Structure 1
Amino acid sequence: MSHRLALRDLIDVVRPARPVASVYLGSSPLRSWRGRWLRLADQLRADGADPDLVDTIGEVLDRARSHYPTADTLVAFAGEELPPRVFHTPGLRHLDLAWFSSPAHVLPLLAWLQDRPPRVAVTAGRCSADLLAGNEHISLNYPESQWLEGVRSAAVACAEMLVRQEARLLVVTGEDEVVGALWEALPAPVRRDVVVRWSGRALTPGRIQAETRAAARSWTEGVLADFNERGRLRRLAVEGADDTLNALSTGRLDDLLVGFPEDITATAWYGANPTDVARGWSPARRCGLLADVAVRAALLSGTRVHVIAAGLPSAPFENIGGLCRAQLALVRS
């Protein structure tokens, strides 16, 4: 059964050290589902996937297609250590792809997920307030003469919804005075941690999506700017495959920057432990794409991952790098 993607899903997907089938079934109305799947299945078998595993993936993808017949892209993962997972990813445009490799290939999904962070959308008025996030929808009604008390109640509901959704983005619309009252009524920790984007007086689904993506781009640009300014200036940045993998292996990396599309010629080696990564060959490790190895190490060790456009002038060397945590002596200085 397919379901919407969350970061914790990708952590489970990359955890296995043994090869995993990664299948991206894109939107291609000019070709039949059956013909496309047969080609992908042949590729998985050529990569060494067990025929039973290939059949299982085909079955779960077929069931997912019946639930989402107009899906842009369906993404499936399965392996000896991973039960089949299928994700519906609206808006993800991807060519058909099938790899049986290690680690699992999740970089396109990370880029998609990064562009759609959890958020709460609020329409605040003098007679009612509507809150929307994920599958949650709360409507509050109150007399216009008591709008301030009503907005304060909406702020309480909003703060609770932000916690449940693990969201740090609030998209809000309404009159200036009402929106200001909502903001002032939010608890101080929420105001400190949450980014607010005001969207005039019309909060359509398209507008919510646009504001969400704008906030996501701003966050990523901020991390990249921090890498180029503070990181390089204070020698807290690493870049290039060797230095980045070394920082991951020693647990020094707070933020990993990785370019997308990835370089499919660059490889690295990894072991079962999250930080067991290296550039060179080792009999105790497996070989995988550099980007996949680095992403796996980061996700399993709690390092934040930021997907950037490969080839940007401000991108790190070899399209991979990151920000390291400051040494205590450096912080005190």
Structure 2
Amino acid sequence: MSESPVAMSTTRERPAWSTSGYLMLVLFLILAALFLWRLTSFAGGEPTDSEVATFLGSIFLLPISLVVIAKGFYMIQPNQAAAITLFASYRGTDRNAGLRWVWPWMGKTRISVRANNVVSEKLKVNDLRGNPIEIATNVVWRVADTAQALFDVDDYKAFVLVQIESAVRSIGSRYPYDDIEHHEVTLRGHHEVINAELRDELNARLSLAGITVDECGLTHLAYAPEIAGAMLRRQQAEAVIAARKKLVEGAVTMVEMALQQLSEKNVVHLDDERRAAMVSNLMVVLCGERETQPIVNTGTLYQ
């Protein structure tokens, strides 16, 4: 029987114990002054045996204390954190800015929690209808959980870049580039919807590394060069068809309104043949691309 894969344990950030480095700096200066005083005080006079023993003890202990205190100092800049470890065991994260101090045998790994901006490379993707397109995005991300970023992935910055590329390819293949006929959600016409879905996709992918995405948006969107010319002609044709359709719908409505009002107000009574001729003339006038030249009929309607 095959063994089931072992699930990876998730590390969660927690506060680490640390103290103010300024207090320890004062203690360091006091011990350093005491050490110098012991050296100078022992130089003069005839010391007794007890004084010699005290001097040797202070000479041995004070330098060790100074070294222990000095090795525990570390600095945290604003919007920076330090992960504290003890013999490769995670002990917590210190987010307090300024001069800090922990025991010198504790490991300290600094990590930035500031916002980062990444502009992805132009990727060639097939959209929902199989048309090759070029797409790129801009992503603003930051580290939300320092423990996950440092200990759950090998290199969280490289992980972010790979997941951005995967998410962009997924979103690009999920929607058509453009659509006039079916009125669907498209990459070109619904930026807010696409950006929101891309942000959700990235947050889901990057949650493993403790990364959160604050903002993202497409910076480049175009058909691939090999089909750009053909797709441009197609877009132009679809735009012309859509405009013609709208024009005909409006013309039919206007003709229907004109005939209805003429009939209701008894302006003129037309038989079916003359009504058809009037409809034809009105449609030519309303739908024609050029200005029409009126012809004045000086006779009757039947001449």
The structure with more strand, counted as a fraction of residues: 1
Q: Which has the larger radius of gyration?
A: 2
- Shorter-chain TM range is under 0.3
Which protein has greater RCO, CA pairs closer than 8 Å, 6+ apart? Answer: 1
Q: TM-score, normalised on structure 1?
A: 0.20
Give the structure-2-normalised TM-score: 0.22
